[in-house]
Amino acid sequence: MGIVPIITYLSVIVFVVSVVTRFIKLSTLPVHLRWEVYPVPHEKGKGHYGGSYLEEYEWWTKPRQTSKLAELKVMLPEIILLAGVWEHNKKHWFRTFPFHFGLYLLAGLVVLLAVGGVGSVFGLNVAADGGASGALIYYLTIAVGYAGLVLALIGSLALLVRRTFNADYREYTTGADYFNLLFFTATLVVALFSRLTADLHFDGLRGFFQGLLTLNGSAVPPLTALQSLEIVCASLLVAYIPLTHMSHFFTKWFTYHDVRWSDEPNLAGSGFDEKIAKQLEATVDWSAPHIRGDGKKKNWIDVVTSSGREE
């Protein structure tokens, strides 16, 4: 097995471990300060006008009714179409949407390459004349692959130009932001050039995925220097993403469900009351005089039950 497959395996391991580790960390954080901003989409029958279960008489005695479908109606446009960006900053949307949608297509490309590669082991002929199933995967791979590469590249260049030459954006752009966009741009340029010069129909990449997924190093086809560079760059990028703020591709879930949409009532015996009680035991080291925390002995219960402001 060559060095390129090993780098790919290691990158995938880093990606998975990083995502799982961060997911566990976020899942076990103390209760967030909730926004309490309505409408909350999962309010069944009330979300469309901004209502909540608190409208009900003696609401604490009644079972809550929520709707996952209503949540999906809000989440899917936000995830796929970046609806929030379109609503609040249309000029930015025309730059960031191609970038993100291109990345979605490239994720789909990985799935198609994996399906085609493994399917080939079981006799599927992924080719223009490979029958209905084989031809479908063949042409979908080409269409999705080139669309993803071109859109993501256009988006990354547009974002890079915007952050470089627009004074408002430049003020809030860090060196890491420039590095991230340059990393994406370089990887996409190498990948697109590799496709056009060495692997026009993605056959080489499909064979590479076949070798990876079947753990058969001998099945990995010979790679050109450009193809090797493309795979190494893409692998390192995959490993790098969850280590940065770009991990918002999944951490955004917590922002919405634990902060923005969280409206779970604090009722005795619900489990939520135990979380709150645990947080009230935390010591307070804020220096503001109206808080009166010393960071040593006083916890939040001491602060909220103390009488008057200490002079």
Which tokens hold the place of 218? 């001998």
229: number of Cβ within 10 Å: 18
Q: ∠67-72-74 over CA atoms, to 5°?
A: 105
Q: How far is CA 180 from the centre of its chain?
A: 15
pLDDT at 12: 97
pLDDT number for residue 111: 98
Single-letter amino acid code for the residue at 88:
H
Q: Quick one: pLDDT at residue 218?
A: 72
What 34-41 contacts at long range (C-beta under 8 Å, 24+ apart), as own/partner pairs, is 34/259, 34/262, 34/263, 35/259, 35/260, 36/263, 37/260, 40/261, 40/263, 41/67, 41/70, 41/71, 41/73, 41/74, 41/261
Local mean pLDDT, 10-residue blocks, the chain (311 residues): 90 97 91 80 86 89 88 91 95 97 98 96 93 96 98 98 94 95 98 95 94 82 92 98 92 86 85 86 79 74 69 46
**Is the overall model pTM greater than 0.85, yes or no?**
yes
At 301 the pLDDT is 85
The pLDDT score that the predictor gives to residue 188 is 98
Q: Helical H runs in the chain?
A: 3-27, 68-81, 83-88, 90-121, 131-165, 167-171, 175-198, 203-213, 225-240, 248-254, 272-280, 300-305
